Chain A
């Protein structure tokens, strides 16, 4: 599948801090999605982005679809302990099959 480069791989953050992670690709995507996975559960959709340059918020989460359609970032503001988990970016190509390619994930650990 298409390679998505997600960074950082992991991060330790202080409760209350703002954090940012991003995803880049050499391919152009029609849709960018951000998921969060808690231990023992499946990924849960956080934000979906459909238009280049689109900036979308979901509570304390904000994500943007890059102008070139090759990148996206996710910001978490005022982090809290329940923000712990693995965050995945995923890209969907506008082809006949609409396969969803996933980044390797960013593991977030919050220090109380």
Chain B
């Protein structure tokens, strides 16, 4: 089965450090979404792309988060500087198009100390 691949699976870092999370969407999918999952907030939408163009990143703290798609096979989510409250599991999901169900990766578990 085709899968969304996320790296790293786990990341532990100190407050103030830069964190970069990577996602390889399923080949041929033209929508990519970033979600954050915490116990308190559940699954929150951070940003999403269509055909590599960012459509909405209103869910992200703009001062520290940035999301990009350098090419069709790579999406990145960066946090700089990281803070303890950023600790969460970050999921990338891709879809064939906007009307299609999303397929999720296995997430990056981020811990900021």
Contacts and interface: CB of A to CB of B under 8 A. Distances in A.
Interface of A: 1, 31, 33, 35, 40-45, 48, 88, 92, 97-105
B102 A100 contact: yes
Contact of A98 (B43, B91, B93, B99): B99
Contact of A88 (B43, B45, B56, B106): B43
Interface of B: 4, 33, 42-43, 45, 48, 55-56, 91, 93, 98-99, 101-107
B106 A102 contact: no
A1 B45 contact: yes
Contacts of A43: 43, 91, 104
A103 B104 CA distance: 16
Contact of B106 (A40, A101, A103, A104): A40
B contact face: mostly helix, strand, loop, or mixed = strand
Given A99-B45, A105-B42, A44 B102 contact: no
The 3 A-B residue pairs with the shortest CB-CB distance, nearest first, are A42-B104, A98-B98, A102-B43
A104 B42 contact: yes
Nearest to B9: A40
Contacts of A92: 99
A73 B4 CA distance: 27
